[in-house]
């Protein structure tokens, strides 16, 4: 069984026993290894099927967001990228406070009544269905 390869599209995937580093190399996604941000273990220490939490660091210099993923790490190679770049988590440049300032709606910040949390820690909600999946807290606007 050790030499069995799994065909997926035009790519011959290595056996499932192989680690994430080898798997990325087999898929031509060595670039993902540049985003590995886990200080506790290397990409050769987890399999692509692993459900343990690992840390990634966005490769874009202007972003540099770090995030942990508990899902199968192999999902990264299928396009699950940086959640900050995808607008799924609040960042210094993408949050409810910035939104209010950029759209001239500072009056909304004046009405902020949640003293435990800051508007910076929220995203503005949109009507797009993707917002149902965001992990971050969001502010729902009436329009
Ligand atoms: Zn990013």
Q: What's the CA-to-centroid distance between 3 and ligand 1, angstroms?
A: 37
Q: What's the CA-to-centroid distance between 2 and ligand 1, angstroms?
A: 37
Sorted by where each begins, the domain ranges of the chain are 10-78, 96-139
Q: Please write the tens of the pLDDT for every residue from 53-75.
A: 889 999 888 899 999 886 566 67
Please, which residues bridge with residue 55 across strands?
Answer: 68
133 CB contacts (<8 Å, ≥6 apart)?
88
Q: What's the CA-to-centroid distance between 70 and ligand 1, angstroms?
A: 18
Residue for token digits 């200080």?
39
Q: Please write the tens of the pLDDT for every residue from 71-99.
A: 566 677 666 789 899 888 888 888 888 98
What letter would DSSP give residue 136? S
Q: What is the pLDDT of residue 129?
A: 35
Q: What's the CA-to-centroid distance between 39 and ligand 1, angstroms?
A: 19
The pTM assigned to this predicted structure is 0.67
Both ends of the chain: CA-CA distance in Å? Answer: 58
Distance CA 43, CA 24 (A): 10
């Amino acid at each position: 069984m050790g030499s069995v390869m799994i065909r997926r599209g035009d790519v011959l995937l290595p056996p499932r026993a192989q680690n994430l580093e080898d798997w990325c190399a087999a898929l031509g996604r060595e670039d993902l290894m540049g985003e590995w941000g886990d200080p506790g273990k290397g990409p050769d220490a987890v399999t692509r099927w692993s459900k343990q939490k690992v840390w990634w660091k966005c490769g874009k210099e202007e972003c540099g967001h770090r995030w942990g993923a508990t899902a199968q790490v192999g999902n990264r190679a299928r396009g699950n990228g940086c959640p900050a770049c995808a607008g799924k988590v609040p960042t210094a440049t993408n949050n409810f406070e910035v939104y209010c300032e950029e759209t001239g709606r500072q009056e909304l910040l004046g009405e902020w009544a949640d003293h435990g949390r800051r508007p910076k820690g929220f995203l503005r909600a949109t009507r797009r269905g993707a917002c149902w999946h965001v992990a971050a807290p969001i502010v729902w606007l009436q329009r």
